[in-house]
Amino acid sequence: MTRIDATFARLKADGKKAFVSYIMAGDPDVETSLAVMKGLPDAGVDIIELGLPFTDPMADGETIQLAGQRALAHGMSLDRTLQMVRDFRAGNDTTPIVLMGYYNPIYNRGVDTFLAQAKEAGIDGLIVVDLPPEEDEELCIPAQNAGLNFIRLATPTTDDKRLPKVLQNTSGFVYYVSITGITGAAAAQAAEVAPEVARIKAQTDIPVIVGFGIRTPETSREIASVADGCVVGSAIVSEIAAGKSPSDVLAFVKGLADGAHSA
């Protein structure tokens, strides 16, 4: 059982929805983002998504593009991202960490080397935006074999015919993208998301977490109430971009987490 599976078992026992937060590793620098990361579990975050900076984040809006650019400008790299995970793990061995990013930095490292390093650092799962099921042999299958969860995105364009293919090699949870669009875009609507989540849950027992377009505690609660939990990224990254202190960022995160947990 991975940390992700254990977390969902705990939440299920408590009758609570999951709150997942995203931050970019090294944004704006390692010290600040590590301070935020260390505080996330106490702010109510159940699962941490840690962004791996990439020069060309094709599925991300401006907020996360700029976060990646800030991190890279301060010398962030795959090695430093892994070190950040180790530093976090030194004080926390329970909160799952999902590394989220694009394939090239991983491919460049070499898949086997990367998986060994990620596992050793304490990463539990991977979300790699530009690896659809058609490319499962690249990283998804090797990651599962290495004991890491490979979390797949399902989207409004994933029709019923295609859904089994998307769910087939998914583990940990399914990340339902609430809108057709990039991160940080239009607001998610619970009324539109609910039937989509039901559609996915009809075909899998894996938890379904909804992300994209969630910016407020209210939306966090509304969306979490129609799924197994929700993800917030750009809204948190915007707080960091505005130069807020880690404690102010964490207070903002707590509001979102409380929203999801009240669902």
Partner 1 sequence: MADDLFNSFMNGPDEKGRFGIHGGRFVSETLMPLILSLEEEYNKAKDDPSFWAEMDFLWKHYVGRPSPLYFAERLTERLGGAKVYMKRDELNHTGAHKINNVLGQIILARRMGKTRIIAETGAGQHGVATATVCAKFGLKCVVYMGAHDVERQQPNVFRMKLLGAEVVPVTSGRGTLKDAMNDALRDWVTNVRDTFYCIGTVAGPHPYPAMVRDFQAIIGKETREQMMEAEGRLPDTLVAAIGGGSNAMGLFYPFLDEKDVKIIGVEAGGKGVNDKMEHCASLTGGRPGVLHGNRTYLLQDEDGQILEGFSISAGLDYPGIGPEHSWLHDIGRAQYVSITDKEALEAFQLCCETEGIIPALEPSHALGHVMKIAPELPKDHIICMNLCGRGDKDIFTVAKHLGVDMSGTEGRTAD
Residue with Cβ nearer partner 1 (5 or 138): 138
In whole angstroms, the minimum distance from the beta carbon of 262 to partner 1 comes to 30
Q: Please tell me which residue in 14, 29, 31, 49 is annotated as part of the active site.
A: 49
Cα 88 to Cα 82: distance, rounded to the nearest angstrom: 10
Q: Is 222 a catalytic residue?
A: no
CB contact at 8 A, 28 and 74: yes
Residue length of the chain:
263
Residue with Cβ nearer partner 1 (176 or 252): 176
Q: For residues 17, 19, 20 and 26, what is the CA-based torsion angle, rounded to 10 degrees?
A: -160
Helix (H, G, I), strand (E, B) or coil at 210: strand
Instruction: For residue 50, give the nearest of 2, 95, 93, 117 by alpha carbon.
Output: 95
Residue with Cβ nearer partner 1 (87 or 130): 130
Cα 99 to Cα 149: distance, rounded to the nearest angstrom: 10
Q: Is 27 a catalytic residue?
A: no
CB contact at 8 A, 74 and 45: no
Residue 240, both tokens: 């960091």
In whole angstroms, the minimum distance from the beta carbon of 203 to partner 1 comes to 15
Q: Please tell me which residue in 5, 27, 29, 60 is annotated as part of the active site.
A: 60
In whole angstroms, the minimum distance from the beta carbon of 82 to partner 1 comes to 12
Sign, Cα dihedral of 188, 178, 226, 247: negative
Cα 104 to Cα 69: distance, rounded to the nearest angstrom: 16
Q: Which residue has the tokens 């970019």?
A: 24
Residues in contact with partner 1 by the rule CB under 8 A: 53-62, 65, 72, 77-79, 102-109, 129-135, 152-159, 162, 166, 177, 180-182, 185
In whole angstroms, the minimum distance from the beta carbon of 34 to partner 1 comes to 19
- What does the DSSP 8-state code read for residue 127? E
List the catalytic residues: 49, 60
